Amino acid sequence: MKLNDITRGTGLESHGITNANVIYWTPTTSTLYEQIVKRREGLISHMGAVAVKTGHYTGRAANEKFIVDEPTCHDNVAWGKVNRPFEPAKFDAIYNRMCAYMHGSDLFVQDCFAGADKVHRLPIRVITEKAWHSLFARNMFVTATSEELENHSPQFTVIDLPSFHAVPAIDGTNSETFIIINFARKVIIIGGTSYAGEIKKAIFTILNYLLPLEKKILSMHCSANVGKNGDTAIFFGLSGTGKTTLSADPNRSLIGDDEHGWDDRGVFNFEGGCYAKIINLSKEAEPEIYETTRRFGTVLENVAIDTHTRRVDLNDDSFTENTRASYPVTHIPNVVKSGCGGHPANIIMLTCDAFGVLPPIARLTPEQAMYHFLSGYTAKVAGTEAGVTEPSATFSTCFGGPFMALNPTVYGELLRAKIAKHKVTCWLVNTGWSGGPYGVGSRMKISYSRALVNAVLDGTLNAGSFEKDAFFGLDIPSACAGVPGEVLNPRNTWADKAKYDATSTKLVGMFKENFEKYAALVSADVARVM
C-alpha cells in the first residue's frame, strides 16, 4: 500500500476539515470493496457487483437543492423554482457544523476530473463518509493518473455526509436534507440523503454554469456515440426515454451516456462512467448494459438481492422503480476511450409520450429543434403519483431543467448556432405509447426505435420521403425498414380517430402554454413553431 493511500487526519485543512480519523486518499476499487463490506454498507453479488441501498431517498431530492446567492453569481443564475437562492451566512453556518461533525470520522477522498477533454476538464475533489459513495465517484468521474495526482488541485469540492441533517428552522432549508452549491467558495455540500446521484448532478450543474458562461461551450444532458466512419450522434432525453439504451449500440462506439460538452472541436464526455436505469433490464434487449450488472466495480443501487445466494433480481421494484447501476464506461465493450468525438451529424431528441400522439420519429427544422430543446417534453404515466389518472405532461427545459443554472435561452442559442454552423440534422423520437394513451395503447417496441435510429444514422431515413403532421407540423417519414408502415403515423394506430385528434389538440395546447415563458426571448420563427 502506498503511503498516500491512507493518512491520519491530515491534508484537508484547506477545506476547514481538521481532526479527522483515517482518511482514504483516492482509494482503488478493491480497497473500497473491502471497506464497503467491513462497514456493512452493501453486499457483493454473486457475479461481483456491489449492491447497496439508499434508504429514504431513492431518487433526487429536487426540492432540497439550493444555490448560494452571492455577488459572483447573482446576475447570472436563473433564479426560480429550480435554482433556489440560499443565504451566504446560512451556508457558512451549516458548513462549519459539517466540519465539526467530521471530527474523529473516517473519510474517503477521490481526486478526479469532470470532463474528458484535457483542455476543459475541471479538477474536482469528492469527500464522503461512505465508502460506496467514493466508489460511485470513482466510477462516474474521470480518474486521475498517478502523475496527475501529484499536482491535482481541486477547483470544486463536494462534501457528502448522508448522516448529517440540517435543522430547517435554523438553517433555512426545506427539510433535514440539502444540496447546496456555493460558486464563490467553490464547494458543494450534501446532507441527509444517501442517493449518490446527487453527487454527479451537482457537478453537472457546476459545469452547466461555468462552461457556457466562461467558454461558450454548450453543456448538454445527452448521450453520444460515434460510428465506424467517425460520424457522431447525440441523444437528448430525460430519464426513462431511452437515452442510455439507444446510445449503447453494438455497431457504434459509446462516448458517454448522460452528460457532454460541445466546443469548437466537437463533443466530449463530462464523465468517466455511466449511471443507467436498470429496472426490468434484460440480456436480450440490452445486452451491453446487462453485462455491466455482473461486473466487479459496478454499484447496484436499490436492486433486490437474495441475501443467501447473492443473486440479484433486476425485475424487482420493491425498493423503487428507479434502480440504478453505476459503472466505469470501460465496462461497455465498444467505447471511445478518449471520451471525445467530432461534431455531430445527427441530433436525436427523445421523448416518452404517454398520450400516444407523437410519431415514433420526425425530422425537425432548426427552428423546431430549438423549440423542442427548450420545451424538453416527456410525460408521466397514470398511476405514478397519487391522484394521477391520465398521462401528465412534463416539460424540463433543455432536457435537463433541474441542472441548468443559467437562463435556458443561453443553452438554446448555443445549440441553434452550432446546428447551423455544422449543418446538423435533428430528429424527434418518441419511445412512448402508440395506438392510444397509456392504459389503452402499447409502449413502442425497442426494436422499432432501434430500427428508426439506425436509419437516421446510416442516412437512409433522411433520403426518403416525408409527410407533414397536421397537429405538430412535424415531417414524418413515409417508410422505414423494420418498422410497420402504419406505426410511423400515430393517427393510423388509433381505433378512435376523433379521440386522437382531440388528444393531439390538447397536447399542442400544453406545448404552447409552456412555451409562453420563452416567446419573448426567442426569434419569431421559433416562437410560432406551434
- pLDDT over 50 (residue 79): yes
Among candidate residues 340, 313, 354, the one with its CA nearest the CA of residue 439: 354
Q: Phi and psi at residue 417, in whole multiples of 5°?
A: -65, -40
Q: What separation in angstroms does the CA of 413 have from each of 214, 367, 371, 404, 437?
A: 15, 11, 11, 14, 33
Do residues 247 and 223 lie in contact, with contact meaning Cβ atoms separated by under 8 Å?
yes
- Cell digits of residue 406: 443559467
Residue 134 sits in a domain of what CATH number?
3.40.449.10
- pLDDT over 50 (residue 297): yes
Would you say residue 96 lies in a domain?
yes
Residue 378 sits in a domain of what CATH number?
3.90.228.20
215 in helix, strand or coil? Answer: helix
Going by pLDDT thresholds of 50, 70 and 90, the confidence category of residue 384 is very low
Would you say residue 178 lies in a domain?
yes
Would you say residue 135 lies in a domain?
yes
The DSSP H or E segment spanning 199 is helix 197-210
Please state whether beta strands 433-434 and 392-395 pair in parallel, antiparallel, or not at all (unpaired): unpaired
Angle at which helices 408-422 and 366-375 cross, to 10°: 150
- pLDDT over 90 (residue 388): no
Would you say residue 491 lies in a domain?
yes
Would you say residue 228 lies in a domain?
no
pLDDT digits (tens, 9 = 90+) for 472-503: 999 999 999 999 999 999 999 999 999 999 99
Would you say residue 359 lies in a domain?
yes
Domain housing 90: 6-42+64-215
Do residues 109 and 24 lie in contact, with contact meaning Cβ atoms separated by under 8 Å?
yes
The DSSP H or E segment spanning 244 is helix 243-247
Listed residues 215, 240, 259: the one ending a domain: 215
254 in helix, strand or coil? Answer: strand
- Cell digits of residue 524: 419569431
Q: Alpha-carbon Rg of the chain, whole angstroms? A: 23
Q: Phi and psi at residue 422, in whole multiples of 5°?
A: -105, 10
- pLDDT over 70 (residue 160): yes
Would you say residue 384 lies in a domain?
yes
Going by pLDDT thresholds of 50, 70 and 90, the confidence category of residue 390 is low
Give the C-alpha separation, 243 to 222, whole Å.
7
Provide the number of structural domains found in the chain.
Answer: 2
Distance of CA 21 to the CA centre of its chain: 34
Going by pLDDT thresholds of 50, 70 and 90, the confidence category of residue 511 is very high
**259-268, 281-290, 358-367: least confidently modelled range:** 281-290
Would you say residue 107 lies in a domain?
yes
Give the C-alpha separation, 4 to 25, whole Å.
6
Give the C-alpha separation, 526 to 372, whole Å.
10
Instruction: Please count the CA atoms within 13 angstroms of the CA of 15 that sit on its side-chain side.
Output: 30
Give the C-alpha separation, 374 to 36, whole Å.
42
pLDDT digits (tens, 9 = 90+) for 322-369: 999 999 999 999 999 999 999 999 999 999 999 999 999 999 999 999
Listed residues 215, 237, 272: the one ending a domain: 215
Let me know the angle formed at the C-alpha of 343 by 340 and 344, rounded to the nearest 5 degrees: 105
- Cell digits of residue 51: 449492491
pLDDT digits (tens, 9 = 90+) for 182-194: 999 999 999 999 9
List active site positions. Answer: 60, 201, 221, 239, 243-244, 258, 324
Give the C-alpha separation, 357 to 489, whole Å.
9
Q: Within this chain, do residues 367 and 507 fall inside the same structural domain, yes or no?
A: yes
- pLDDT over 60 (residue 382): no
Q: Average pLDDT in the 364-389 region? A: 78
Listed residues 197, 215, 233: the one ending a domain: 215
Maximal C-alpha separation, the chain: 73
DSSP structure string for 489-520:
SGGGG-S-HHHHHHHHHHHHHHHHHHHHHHHT
Among candidate residues 284, 268, 281, the one with its CA nearest the CA of residue 314: 281
Do residues 123 and 216 lie in contact, with contact meaning Cβ atoms separated by under 8 Å?
no
pLDDT digits (tens, 9 = 90+) for 226-263: 999 999 999 999 888 989 889 988 899 999 999 999 99
Q: Within this chain, do residues 159 and 20 fall inside the same structural domain, yes or no?
A: yes
49 in helix, strand or coil? Answer: coil
- pLDDT over 60 (residue 214): yes
- Cα four-point dihedral sign 228, 282, 29, 153: positive
Please state whether beta strands 475-477 and 466-468 pair in parallel, antiparallel, or not at all (unpaired): antiparallel
Do residues 143 and 121 lie in contact, with contact meaning Cβ atoms separated by under 8 Å?
no
